[in-house]
Amino acid sequence: MKISIQTGKNNQILRSVSEEIKLNEYKKFFLLWEEMVKFVKNPDNWGVWLAAPQLWINKRLISVSLIRNYDDDNFKTIYMINPKILEHSESTEFDKEWCLSVPWEYWEVERFSEIKLSYIWWNWKENILFLKWISARIVQHEIDHLDWVLFTDRTVEIKNNDKEHVL
């Protein structure tokens, strides 16, 4: 399966709310999430995350690498069916983000520092996961794709050392 990434800030698929995957659709998407995980694991693809809408599929499915920092070579890549953020910290962090669907743009984005989420995995059982820092950022970025939000929609005006940067 060749993966072709949807691009563009006004792309209709990227700007649609994704539908939940139902139990009777489970087998239909099995090959897709295997391919998504392979794509994310491949260092030539420059990605640590991917959402089904980026692949022309309007379903709530993401594949993410759970990393401690950007140099982490010992990480786990998983897929999540119908992920939902259940809780989040009050604290937030700013960091630069980029996206395969909006190539060559890098912007500061504010995200929650910690999240608690639920998702379904291969056994069709609900899983609960607590994430913080970069992994929490990655999952929030991908869930945004499922809800028609691109990271460029979340850019902020930052004032740093008396220099104003409008992002």
* Rounded Cα distance, 158 and 167, in Å: 7
> Does the annotation count 142 as an active-site position?
yes
165 a known binding residue?
no
Q: Please check if 88 is assigned to a binding site.
A: no
Residues 114 and 88 sit within 8 Å (Cβ to Cβ): yes
The one-letter amino acid code at 155 reads T
The residue type at 102 = V
Per-residue burial over 112-124, b if 16 or more Cβ lie within 10 Å, else e, is bebbebebbeeee
Q: Is 141 annotated as a binding residue?
A: yes
Q: Which of 108, 142, 157, 164 is catalytic?
A: 142
| Residue matched to tokens 């980026």 | 54
Q: Annotated binding residues for Fe cation, as ranges? A: 99, 141, 145
Residues annotated in a binding site: 99, 141, 145
What is the set of active-site residues? 142
